[in-house]
Amino acid sequence: MVFLSVAFGLAACGPTTQVILLPNPDGKVGSIEVSDKKGTQTLDKPWQSTETSALTGSQGKPKVLEEHQARTIVKEALEAEPMAPATFVIQFKSGSAELTPDSLRQLPEILAAIKIRKSADIIVSGHTDSVGSDDYNRQLSLRRARTAANVLTTRGIPRDHIEVSYHGKGNPLIRTPDGVSEPRNRRVEITVR
């Protein structure tokens, strides 16, 4: 959920604060409560707005703005908002730190996300399925994370922009009993902020 509070100074009626509830990029919207001395209002519709007056201490009735009107009001704040992180999942062959062919084909998209965001904050997190011992899986997940980090550095990404973590069989995408081979858990997640 995204909301913005915009303050206006109006000479005739004193300073007011306007709160506008914006939808998430996927169109979903949560809710927000706006409180003052006179009570609380809930905003729960996209582009819904209310104003409070410092002079009278009261809120106006919530109203839904036209999207273009709301975007005009909060234009500067929206332009200053950083891009959302991009997350990529690359897969590995069973028992190895070798990327699958499909994962190699994702590299241009990952590199483009880094370039667009001018990112110096990239998290590379290694994982395994539940086949093998805990120690083996921790070491394998580290090798996978290092492989992914090395692939990025050989393509021009500075090593100090990359943080490597590894989890072994912990944090699986698909929960399985020990000893079950699950290709979707043999992965590295790359988050570009």
Confidence of residue 6 (pLDDT cuts 50, 70, 90): very low
Domain shared by 44 and 105, yes or no: no
Domain shared by 174 and 108, yes or no: yes
Q: What is the pLDDT of residues 26-52, one digit of tens each?
A: 889 999 998 877 788 899 999 999 988
Domain shared by 17 and 50, yes or no: yes
Domain shared by 64 and 90, yes or no: no
pTM above 0.85, yes or no: no
Total of domains in the chain:
2
Which of 32, 47, 80 terminates a domain? The answer is 80
Task: Name the E strands within the chain.
Answer: 2-10, 14-22, 32-36, 39-43, 48-53, 63-64, 86-91, 122-126, 162-166, 187-192
**More reliable by pLDDT, 28 or 58:** 28
pLDDT at position 57: 66
Which domain CATH number covers 132?
3.30.1330.60
Domain that holds residue 75: 2-80
Which of 53, 80, 107 terminates a domain? The answer is 80
Domain shared by 97 and 62, yes or no: no
Domain shared by 183 and 93, yes or no: yes
DSSP state of 176: -
